[in-house]
Amino acid sequence: MKAVVWHGKHNVQVDRVPDPQILNPRDAIIRVTLSGICGSDLHLYNGIVPTMKEGDILGHEFMGVVVELGSGVTNFSKGDRVVVPFPISCGDCWYCKQGLWSLCDNSNPNSFMLEKLYGDTGAGIFGYSHLYGGYAGGQAEYVRVPYADVGLHKVPEELSDEQVLFLTDIFPTGYQAAENCSIRDGDTVAVWGCGPVGLLAMKSAQHLGATNVIGIDRFPERLEMAKRHCDAEVINYEEQDVAEVLHHMTGGRGPDACIDAVGTEAHGSGMEAAYDMVKQTLRLESDRPIALRQLIRACRKGGTVSIPGVYSGFVDKMPMGAVFAKGLTLRAGQTHVHRYLDPLLKLIAQGAIDTSFIITHRMALEEAPAGYRLFNEKKDGCIKIVLNPRL
Ligand code: NAD
Ligand code: ZN
C-alpha cells in the first residue's frame, strides 16, 4: 500500500510499504478514506520528537471503513464506517475506566522511556514516534487499529467524511481545552494560536457559554477565520502588545481563561534553536516560552490557563510565582478523545457545530510532502490539510 513515511527532519515521502496485518485478536484493519495533517505532526516533521525512526508511518487523524477484524472484536462488522480516536486505549485499565483514555496504562509499550524523566507517561498514539508506542499511522491506504472495540466509533452515513473527521482529534482537543476552562456565562476566553486547535477551542468556548472570545496569532488569514467563523475579536501579536490590548479589552482585569493552542514551538520563543539539543537529551530548556508566559501573565486572578498545545522535555523559568500569587488553575494534556465522541457527534449531526470550515486544502495522499511543507510554513493560506487516498 501507499503511506506517508518519515525519513528525517523536513523529509516525508509517500512510499510503497507492506499492508498492515491483524497481529492480535482485538485488532481491526481500516481502509482509510480521509486523514488530516495535524499541528502535532509538525513536531515530528521539525525533528523535535527524538524517537522517530526512518520508515515510520505518520498520521493520527483518520477515518475509514472496516475491512478486516480479529477474532476478538465483537462490536463491529466489515463495512462499518468509523472514525478512530488518536490515543490508543485498552478500555480495561484503571485510567481507561476513569475516562482518562489518553493516559491508558496498557497501550504504550515504550512508556518506560519517559518514566525516569516524567514519573509516568501517557497512552500509545498512532503514527507518533516510539515514545508513544511506535504504532503505524493512518496517513496511508490502510491502518491497523488495536483494541478495536474501544478504538473505533461508527458514524452515520448521512454525514460526510469532512464533517466527522475532526472527531478523531482536533474537535475534542479544542472542546476539552475549553471545557477545562470551567466557563461561566459572560466569561472572556483568550486563545493563543488560531490554528485548527485554537479555532475549534474558540468555537467550543462559545458553545460552552463564553460571551467574549479573543484569538491571538500573526497570520492574517487565520485571524480572519477566527473573526468570521468563531465570532472572535482578534489580536495580531506582531502588530499589537498582547498584554496591553487584553488588559484594555477586559476592563483591566484580564481574561477569565487563557488557552495555549500553540505549544512548544511557539514563534519567538527561542525554542527553534533547542531542537537539536532535544534530540540528544530530551531536556528542552529555554527561558522564553513566550506564549505560555504571556498566558500566565494575562490571565485574571483566580482564572484558568488551559494548555492543549504540546510541550516536551523541560520548559524552564516558568513564572510559578505568578501562578501562585494569582491563584491560577493550570490544566494540560493529551485529549481524552473517546470521552467526547458521542456528545460531539451529536452536535455535528444536529448542525450545532460544523468543524469542516477549517479545511483549506484537499490533497491526494501522494501530495503529502508538499502538504507538510505548506502547513509547516503556513503558506498559501494553509490552515488545515486533509489527505484523500482515493484522489
Ligand atoms: P498550528 O501549527 O496550525 O497552529 C499553531 C498556531 O500558533 C499558528 O497559527 C501559529 O501562528 C500560532 N503561534 C505561534 N507562536 C505564537 C505565539 N507566540 N503567540 C500566538 N500564536 C502563536 O497547529 P494546530 O494543529 O492548531 O495545533 C496547535 C497545538 O495543539 C500544537 O502544539 C499541537 O501539537 C497541539 N495539539 C494537542 C493535542 C492534545 O491532545 N493536547 C491534540 C492536537 C494538537
Ligand atoms: Zn492531531
CATH code (residue 230): 3.40.50.720
Confidence grade of residue 274 (pLDDT, cut at 50, 70, 90): very low
* Interacting residues of 211 by C-beta distance below 8 A, sequence separation 6+: 185, 186, 187, 188
Looking at residue 113, its pLDDT comes to 82
Confidence grade of residue 281 (pLDDT, cut at 50, 70, 90): very low
The domain of 50 spans 2-169+335-388
Q: Is 357 in the pocket of ligand 1 (CB under 6 A)?
A: no
Distance of CA 35 from the midpoint of ligand 2 (Å): 10
Distance of CA 263 from the midpoint of ligand 1 (Å): 6
> What ipTM did this prediction achieve?
0.99
Q: Is 261 in the pocket of ligand 1 (CB under 6 A)?
A: yes
In contact, 23 and 160? CB cutoff 8 Å? no
The mean predicted confidence, pLDDT, of the chain is 93
- The reply to whether 221 and 368 lie within a common domain is no
What separation in angstroms does the CA of 304 have from each of 183, 248, 256, 295?
9, 19, 7, 10
Looking at residue 266, its pLDDT comes to 65
- Per cent of the chain over pLDDT 70 is 93
35: nearest Cα among 61, 15, 14: 61
Give mean pLDDT, residues 49-66: 94
Atom of ligand 1 nearest to the CA of 384: 3
Distance of CA 71 from the midpoint of ligand 2 (Å): 30
CATH code (residue 109): 3.90.180.10
Q: Is 345 in the pocket of ligand 1 (CB under 6 A)?
A: no
- The reply to whether 61 and 187 lie within a common domain is no
Least confident of 22-26, 89-93, 129-133, 340-344: 129-133
- The reply to whether 33 and 104 lie within a common domain is yes
- The reply to whether 289 and 209 lie within a common domain is yes
Distance of CA 229 from the midpoint of ligand 2 (Å): 21
Q: Give the residue, by CA position, lying nearest to ligand 1 atom 9.
A: 195
Distance of CA 355 from the midpoint of ligand 2 (Å): 14
Q: Is 201 in the pocket of ligand 1 (CB under 6 A)?
A: no
Q: Is 169 in the pocket of ligand 1 (CB under 6 A)?
A: yes
Confidence grade of residue 268 (pLDDT, cut at 50, 70, 90): low
Which grid coordinates belong to 285? 530548556
- The reply to whether 349 and 381 lie within a common domain is yes
- The reply to whether 91 and 164 lie within a common domain is yes
d(CA 108, CA 194): 31
d(CA 109, CA 129): 12
Q: Is 266 in the pocket of ligand 1 (CB under 6 A)?
A: yes
Q: Model confidence over 175-202: pLDDT tens digits?
A: 999 999 999 999 999 999 999 999 999 9
3-state secondary structure of 247: helix
Q: Model confidence over 284-304: pLDDT tens digits?
A: 444 445 789 899 999 999 999
- The reply to whether 265 and 341 lie within a common domain is no
Could you count the other beta carbons within 10 Å of the beta carbon of residue 77?
A: 10
Give mean pLDDT, residues 342-369: 98
State the residue for C-alpha cell 484503571: 94
Find the angle CA(170)-CA(173)-CA(175) to the nearest 5 degrees.
110
Give mean pLDDT, residues 12-28: 98
Q: Nearest 5°: phi and psi at 74?
A: -115, -20
Q: Is 107 in the pocket of ligand 1 (CB under 6 A)?
A: no
